[in-house]
Amino acid sequence: MAFCKLSMRNPPHRHLGYALRLLVSTACILGIAMQSVAAQELELVRDTETERLLKSYEDPILVAAGLDPAAVKMYIVQDPSINAFVAEGQNIFVNTGLLQQLRTPNEVIGVLAHETGHIAGGHLIRDTSAISKAMIPMLVGVAAGVAAMIAGASGEAGMALMGLGMTTAQAQFMQFSRVQEATADQMGQKFLRETHQSGQGMLDVFERLADEEARSAYKIDPMVMNHPASRERIDLLQRLVDASPYKDIKDSPEAVHAFRMVQAKLDGFLDPVDMVLMHYPESDNSEEAHYARAVAYFRQPDLQKALAECNTLIKLEPKNPYFWELLGQIYVDMSRPENGVPAYQKSVDILPDAALLRVSLAAAQLATEKTALAKPALDNLKIALRQETDNSFAWFETAQAYSELGNEPMANLSTAERYYHAGAMASAARFATLAQEDLPQGSTDWQRASDIMAVAGPEARKQH
């Protein structure tokens, strides 16, 4: 899947400009729009609790697939649709809609197993060859159509020639894609068997999607479906699931509870507040209902009610770091960072290896504007950045901490890092130059400023 936002200004000829726009549009349909561009258009969500839950699902599958879990990155996309996809090698993107709408951990695990099948099968690498082959009839059709229009043929005739080439190319690529989807299904089921998990969740998800497809089948051209014919796919999955000795393995109560809590949290943050409070009424005293309401009241904002719900959660689970994290967030949003600091500190004490929690703690410490807390904030940020060197917000807070401590050269270097990791190369080069002027020549930090300048300078000229 790709998000593709394209435009063309001042086309030289009305028909030719339209033909070129169709060419670009078809390139997107075929997946030619590179995933790096697509990823830049995605709105990503960061949340330690959700990320760790997904990682706990995915890591055993990666090991079964012979892949290194440390080399596979997972991203959460704020999108209400049920979808997950792989991009740029070993990156897995999971929509919030998939987490919110699927019913069990096993269903999510089944989808992740399928996506891991794509990675293990090298499908993204093979896509390049398939796309290249599919481009040939499309380009021939476009060239013929443009030539016909230049020679005086009607716009409709030229567009018909281009459309024929595009249709042929699209059908050729989609046929290749359907084979890949079937292979990913089979590999995913294999990984589930090897990790002693049921394949029923994967079957349930795809069967549900097949039912939705069947209800709107009159709108669908089977040749452009990017997955196998639904009935064939479901029949094959059913046979694989039935053959597994782990078919009837169920999610543990603990796994179901963790999943429900993440769903409640996502509902609270992403759904309309009125909808959240309707779905989790005050008469519901379950832990997930308290969680969803705490977040919803926080967004409303009714911060006193949010605090009450959050304190109820902490009484139920005093060692849950994510409840303390939410309490800290509420206090900071109430402009009471001095109350947020101990709450965030508690979350870090419980989960010291969570980079995002440390960044939040440091931000709260700096928000107090107490110079005595600038050094502890900087220490927390350094620990976080050892884990996440590309965290632009952490670099922003690091610059604030150095500035508070009166170290402007390091503040400039941290700002250069922030812009560098955000892809703003001109600003990165400018602040690296400022930092290098005042850093001790030959020092590690001076050399880092030189490295940023060496990379960011040429990239900035390309961007310009």
pLDDT digits (tens, 9 = 90+) for 238-250: 999 999 999 999 9
pLDDT digits (tens, 9 = 90+) for 214-228: 666 545 444 334 445
376 within domain boundaries: no
pTM of the model: 0.78
CA 412 to chain centre: 30
**pLDDT on residue 150:** 59
52 within domain boundaries: yes
Residues 6+ apart with CB under 8 A from 413: 431, 432, 435, 439, 445, 448, 449
151 within domain boundaries: yes
**pLDDT on residue 125:** 47
pLDDT digits (tens, 9 = 90+) for 323-357: 999 999 999 999 999 999 999 999 999 999 999 99
318 within domain boundaries: no
Nearest to 90 by CA among 107, 108, 69: 69
Q: Which run of H or of E encompasses 91?
A: strand 91-95
Nearest to 201 by CA among 116, 114, 267, 265: 114
79 within domain boundaries: yes
On the CB side of 105, CA atoms within 13 Å amount to 23
Task: Tell me which of 214 and 210 has the higher pLDDT.
Answer: 210
297 within domain boundaries: no
Where does the pLDDT of residue 460 fall: very low under 50, low under 70, confident under 90, or very high at 90 and above? confident
228 within domain boundaries: yes
How much of the chain exceeds pLDDT 70, in percent? 75
Count of structural domains, the chain: 1
Supply the mean pLDDT for the chain.
82
pLDDT digits (tens, 9 = 90+) for 79-132: 999 999 998 778 999 999 999 999 999 999 999 999 999 999 886 644 444 444
Question: Residue 121 in contact with residue 89, Cβ under 8 Å?
Answer: no
355 within domain boundaries: no
In the chain, what are the helix, strand and coil shares in percent, each to the nearest 5? 75, 5, 25
Domain hosting residue 191, numbered range: 14-243
pLDDT digits (tens, 9 = 90+) for 283-321: 999 999 999 999 999 999 999 999 999 999 999 999 999
